[in-house]
Amino acid sequence: MKKIIVANWKCNPQTLREAQKMFLELKQGIGRGEKAEAVVCPPFVYLARAAEIFKGSKIKLGGQNCALTEGGPYTGEISAVMLKNLGAKYVILGHSERRAIGEDNVLINQKIKNVLKGGLTPIVCLGETAQQKQNNETFLILEQQVREVLQKITSTQVGKIILAYEPIWAIGGGQSCPADFALTVALFIRKIISQIANPTIARRVSLLYGGSVDSANAEDYLKTEIFSGLLVGGASLKIKEFLKIASLT
Ligand code: PGA
């Protein structure tokens, strides 16, 4: 199956000029042989420009978050429908950096439903903290996250969601998760999906790895069918590095 390589630019870069430069570099570099679907999730304010630049290219766009509902009196929010109308195909939901400022599984579950209703594909982040890992709670936390974020979502819809295992202790620190540990967790996540939905969906659902991915370790996660691709933060800001990762697929 086609792998998905997602760039999460987080709150970078600080100017539209820099963002444009990065979009152009990406557009020029992509499409020379790699089979993966490359997705860029820049800050909202750069999405419209990205959509113009990427017109006719294979690069897809995503948001890094979105509102709970469609339009209305929600100051500061961006709706899934707005993102769709701009040409975005994906939305990252429940990233640990958003969970850290108060988002919980219940809220993420509501956002997933809203995003699916809006016709976009949610990329739902899951993962345990360093403390939880130390306490041997990884599987407990992951099971709780998977069950709660997928609450009352039909099997067919579960099949349309992308999940991303991003151990929080591996994010941004240069300490990636050993591939065998990530694989064990990924298999566990698929087992839970099989209970929630069914074995076919559990096998087919897209599951990404994220956390200090770079071109040196990307292949460790990409070489197995258990992972459907990668969610790349820091390394995706260096366009050459991101292109290198995408070219490994
Ligand atoms: P990182 O971030 O690649 O910089 O660790 C990944 C993420 O937070 O999605």
Decide: 88 and 63 in contact? Cβ < 8 Å.
yes
From the candidates 34, 95, 103, 241, which is the catalytic residue?
Answer: 95
What pLDDT, in 10s, does the model give residues 4-50? 999 999 999 999 999 999 999 999 998 766 679 999 999 999 999 99
CB 89 within 8 A of CB 129: no
Q: Kindly give the number of the ligand 1 atom that is closest to the alpha carbon of 173.
A: 5
217 lines ligand 1 (CB under 6 A): no
pLDDT score at 68: 95
Residue 36 is part of which domain span? 4-246
Cα dihedral 169, 214, 124, 62 sign:
positive
CB 172 within 8 A of CB 214: no
Cis peptide before 199 (omega within 30 of 0): no
- Torsion, Cα of 136, 140, 142, 147 (10° steps): 180
Q: Check which CATH number belongs to the domain holding 183 and give it.
A: 3.20.20.70
Q: Which residues have CB under 8 Å from 66's CB, separation 6+?
A: 77, 78, 79, 80, 83, 91, 93, 111, 114, 115
Q: Is a pLDDT exceeding 90 seen at residue 158? A: yes
Q: Is 52 a catalytic residue?
A: no
Q: Is the CB of 166 under 6 A from ligand 1?
A: yes
User: How many Å is the Cα radius of gyration of the chain?
Assistant: 17
Number of domains in the chain: 1
Kindly report the protein residue whose alpha carbon is nearest to atom 1 of ligand 1.
233
- Evaluated on CA atoms 68, 124, 128, 200, the torsion sign reads positive
212 annotated binding-site participant? yes
Distance from residue 48's CA to the centre of ligand 1 (Å): 24
Which protein residue's CA is at the shortest distance from atom 2 of ligand 1? 233
Reported as half-sphere exposure (CB side, CA atoms, 13 A), residue 6 has a value of 33
Calculate how far, in angstroms, residue 74's C-alpha sits from the geometric centre of ligand 1.
28
Q: What is the pLDDT of residues 64-111, one digit of tens each?
A: 999 999 889 999 999 999 999 999 999 999 999 999 999 999 999 999
